[in-house]
Structure 1
Amino acid sequence: MGVLTVVEDRPTPSAVYNWRIYLLAAIASCGSCMIGYTSAFIGTTITLDSFESEFGFDTMSTEHVDLISENIVSFFIAGAFFGALLTYPIGHFLGRKWSLVIASSVFTLGAGLQLGANSKTGLGIMYAGRVLSGLGTGTASNIIPIYISELAPPAIRGRLVGLYELGWQTGGLVGFWINYGVEKHVPSSNKQWLIPFAVQLIPSGLLFVGALWIKESPRWLFLKGRRSQAMKNLTWIRQLEESDIYMVEEVAAIDQAHEEQASTVGVGFWKPFQSVATRPRILYRLFLGCMLFLWQNASGINAINYYSPTIFTSIGVSKSAVGWTTGIFGVVKTIMTFIWLLYLVDQLGRRKLLLIGAITGSICMWVIGAYICVVRPDEHPSETLNGGGIAAIFFFYLWTAVYTPTWNGTPWVINSELFDPNIRALAQAATTANNWLWNFLISRFTKQMFATMFYGVYFFFAALSFCAFFYAFFLIPETKGIPLEKIDRLFEIKPVWKANEILMEQLKEDEADFRHDMKSRSEEIERTSELSDDA
């Protein structure tokens, strides 16, 4: 199978895989680019000498500096947590398109406030700006996977939702390297640390402009009873006529799903809350989605994203080399995201990626922790790494190369697919907020963990990654290629590790029956027409 080969749930016209669907996904993914950048640049920017001098870090104790650093990072994540929760009412009443407009606007306001911080105004305005940019981030991180998954044909849904992760890693790559650039080429001054903060305005501005142009999700429009606009948007996105058999089948599936939801869940703002609370199957699925983000954060990725200088220093990398080693970390993540996007997520599948990532990531963390435990680079600092140190760095980059195409983006894809249309927005709000909750805890206590546990932090992440393997193996079914309207049936099939294969066979039989019925109806109409003409 080729890199761009797709596995279809039914015969699909080539027109469906057109430039419009990719452009809409790319524009929405500008939001993930702003998330990735603001998550990556901050950890190194606040360690620049110019930033520390601006806010008087050089006169503070190490504990006080660590506390301020953790506040700058964690206030942003706290805002993201509440932004993710607020996305449900915004998305329900205003739709996916206007949620993206609001997210980019709030983020831009927060980024602007951060630029107003200096030694005279103090850090208060910085904290406020970080909270606001976090609110925008939480909304964007919630709504982007929903929007893309609702537009995407099943065969390339993983690839398109993967653009969300690609945007995240591209923004992160710029964030990691921009600090290296300003440190090397911009004199140590107020301007040096302001440049990384100002760059946040670029992806948020692109998202704002693009979000004003993009089409509203047809599925959301159908849910709101706006069929005329929904059909107009769907035909524009698919580049097919309303009468095309593919369109007829897709609309029929959407209508059937909405009818089932109306009879089981109900339509309205509060109905999904009642449905989730009273339906054990949905609560179970919500549990699965939330726990995916627990295990994702338990790998240690966000500790590395936010505090990369601390991580590399613990391995024994000298301060002068931290900048480029962090940059290479960003490069490896971006390259592996491309591979994940183009091939792995839709060819190898979601489930296998989680299994491979959990066990390999665990091994790498055990090795790194063992090296630090034996050598203790903190007690024997050196400007150059010995053979063991080079091996530890190798395993760190191996961990990055394996983790990125497995646990980094795959949980977002799975969560965008797990839930019925009428509760998807609510469920996505809950799972995304859960991600930012674990993210907050990691960012808030990482420096304290390293101060007290040191090499034990790596053993901690290694043990949790090992546990994540069993979680994924026994509880997470493969969602690749399953239409969103058929996800319910996936969770009715046991054992979990065979559910996808069994359901795909059932769907092929359903498709054959549907086409046979359509053909029979067409022949019946022709016969009736002929009899009428004869009469």
Structure 2
Amino acid sequence: MARLARVEDRPTPPEVYNWKVYFNAIIATWAAVMIGYDSAFIGTSISLASFKSEFGLTTKSTTDFNFISANIVSVFQAGCFFGAFFGYLTGYFLGRKYGLLLSSAIFILGAGLQCGANSSTGLGIMYAGRIIVGFGIGIASNLAPIYVAEIAPPAIRGRLIGMYELCWQIGGVVGFWINYGVTEHIPASHKQWFIAFAVQLIPGAFLFIGSFFLVESPRWLVSRDRNADAIKNLAKLRNLPEDAPYVVEEYTEIEAAIAHERGLAGAGFFGPMKTVFASKTLRYRVLLGSSLFVWQNGTGINAINYYSPTIFKSIGITGGNTSLLTTGVYGIIKLVGALVWLLYLVDTFGRRGVLLIGSIGGAISMYYIGAYIAIAKPAQHPTTKLSSGGQSAIAFFYIWTIFYGPTWNGTPWVVGAEMFPQHVRTFTQACQAASNWFWGFIITRFTPQMFTSMGYGVYIFFATLMVVSVPFIYFILPETKQVPLERMEELFAPGVKPWKAHDIVMARVHETRQLRNEGKDSPSSTSFEKNRNERAEAV
């Protein structure tokens, strides 16, 4: 299929694109199913009458209920924030494979605690479970994208990392529909809300069991001086013999890059931290990658994910089941958008293009919804049937989803996993993941209060942030599509304009490959070492 054609950085044997690399990527990205399910089910679960009755929330005022619901949602994000940094510790000492195993075990413990909450225990055990689940997910959100980026061939790296986003949306669809299903088929009771919480255990168990079958990252093994294991695992992932030219060339590049980068960072746990803080360009990249999650949360996505009943009520939708059904449709649109992004957009249009389109289309949609609410004031005129204006607002909400799903949903994770060298990548990924969870915490903690005090201004606020992100993306973010991980630093070399950096670096990559194929260059040649030294000076 033409749309699934790969753009290769070098002549690549067909064996490289084999089931093993996809199998390992799928196992790791099941971490995202856990995240997606939680982001979708919790907001609608705590709005169920059965949940409110169980924990004595039916007598609470709107202000008190908003406070409690914001706490239930946001303590998860707080746990994710600290878990993301702990992911650096586990990634360094345990590696990607056993780090993901640990994260899933922690997640299962937290999910079990949530299932144990009831009217007798109160919400205390629920809060504890939410924090522990978040801690496990924080670790996984650090390690899963790194692992996939490190095992993926360059031509399908974006596609494989994009599977993380696809799994996120699969979990989200199940989470958005689960409460609609239980309200339709199960009477209001402890069992009704319990089922939604118990389903968390399924993706957690899948990742836990699957982690035993993961092939450890060759790049991490080289960084721990386990070179024999590294080339063995690389050959296994590429489905080629250890002495195959492609395997030897890729392994040599990994070994040379890590040896060179280790000389820059120094050995030990704190070496990557010192390197990042001592390097102006690496500090800049950390701020750049982290800022993408500011803009991602600035689209309003977490406000919608966690408080969808509030969102649809503000537009004029009444009735619990109607709101849940509308939320479920939203989840399906997001999933379809993720599929389009994964199979076509991310490795065709690149990262910058999809982000720009997502911001522009999303801003227009949000401005329309805000204008409708400001003029029609649907909350002050409740009806059992939406007006034509209300229907158009819902249409623009779905249009916003169409723009967001294939753009901002997963692209920041791809860029954050790509743009750093191996010797600091686990630490920098911790920073990226922590930024996502920090800003997610801010949004989820204060969204109920924002709707109370700002009304339609919430939509104007998010729309304006999307507009501001456009010049940021165009003038500051370089394109990372198809750039080998070992040459990412060249995108940030002094004097290189971000909007021109990709063309410049890829021209150098093709020139190097051509010279090497002609026998005029090799990884051990003077020219190769000179290029590496020049790139090191840029760092």
Q: Into which bin does the TM-score normalised by the smaller protein fall?
A: over 0.9
Mark the structure with the bigger radius of gyration: 1
Work out the CA distance in 1 between the residues paired with 2:482 and 2:141: 23
Match of residue 504 from structure 1:
506
Match of residue 250 from structure 1:
250
Alignment of 1:226-237 (within 5 A): 226-237=226-237
Match of residue 536 from structure 2:
none
Match of residue 117 from structure 2:
117
Match of residue 517 from structure 1:
519
- String of CA shifts for 1:183-203, please: whole Å, max 9, x gaps: 010011100000000000000
1:139 aligns with 2:129: no
Match of residue 390 from structure 1:
391
1:519 CA drift (Å): 9.2
Alignment of 1:455-494 (within 5 A): 455-492=456-493, 494=496
Q: Is the 8 A contact 1:79 1:132 kept in 2?
A: yes
1:404 aligns with 2:395: no
Work out the CA distance in 1 between the residues paired with 2:109 and 2:326: 32
Q: Is the 8 A contact 2:512 2:521 kept in 1?
A: no
1:407 partner SS? coil
1:495 CA drift (Å): 2.1
1:242 CA drift (Å): 2.1
1:490 CA drift (Å): 1.5
Work out the CA distance in 1 between the residues paired with 2:449 and 2:53: 23
Work out the CA distance in 2 between the residues paired with 1:459 and 1:519: 56
Work out the CA distance in 1 between the residues paired with 2:13 and 2:315: 53
Distance 1:376 1:268, change over 3 A: same
Match of residue 220 from structure 2:
220
Q: Which runs of 5 or more residues in structure 2 are unaligned?
A: 524-539
| 2:343 maps to amino acid | L
Work out the CA distance in 2 between the residues paired with 1:478 and 1:302: 26
CA RMSD, Structure 1 to Structure 2 (Å): 1.2
Match of residue 359 from structure 2:
358
Q: Is the 8 A contact 2:34 2:204 kept in 1?
A: yes
Number of matched residues? 521
Alignment of 1:159-198 (within 5 A): 159-198=159-198
Q: Is the 8 A contact 2:25 2:148 kept in 1?
A: yes
Alignment of 1:389-468 (within 5 A): 389-468=390-469
4+ residue runs over 6 A deviation = 518-521
1:388 CA drift (Å): 1.0
1:520 CA drift (Å): 10
- String of CA shifts for 1:119-148, please: whole Å, max 9, x gaps: 111100000000000001101111100000
Q: Is the 8 A contact 1:81 1:436 kept in 2?
A: yes
| 2:124 maps to amino acid | G
2:403 partner SS? helix
Match of residue 282 from structure 2:
282
| 1:427 maps to amino acid | T
1:515 CA drift (Å): 2.1
Work out the CA distance in 2 between the residues paired with 1:198 and 1:123: 16
- String of CA shifts for 1:206-260, please: whole Å, max 9, x gaps: 0000001111111000111001111111100001122222112211211221122
Match of residue 106 from structure 1:
106
Q: Which runs of 5 or more residues in structure 1 are unaligned?
A: 522-535
Match of residue 75 from structure 1:
75
TM-score normalised per structure 1: 0.96
Q: Is the 8 A contact 1:267 1:422 kept in 2?
A: no
Work out the CA distance in 1 between the residues paired with 2:319 and 2:142: 36
Distance 1:439 1:520, change over 3 A: closer
| 2:142 maps to amino acid | N
Match of residue 526 from structure 1:
none
Work out the CA distance in 2 between the residues paired with 1:38 and 1:311: 18
1:40 CA drift (Å): 0.6
Work out the CA distance in 2 between the residues paired with 1:263 and 1:489: 18
Work out the CA distance in 2 between the residues paired with 1:473 and 1:520: 35
1:268 partner SS? coil
Work out the CA distance in 1 between the residues paired with 2:253 and 2:463: 43
Work out the CA distance in 1 between the residues paired with 2:383 and 2:496: 55
Percent of pairs with identical residues = 53
Match of residue 268 from structure 1:
268
Q: Is the 8 A contact 1:117 1:123 kept in 2?
A: yes
Q: Is the 8 A contact 1:417 1:484 kept in 2?
A: yes
Match of residue 126 from structure 2:
126
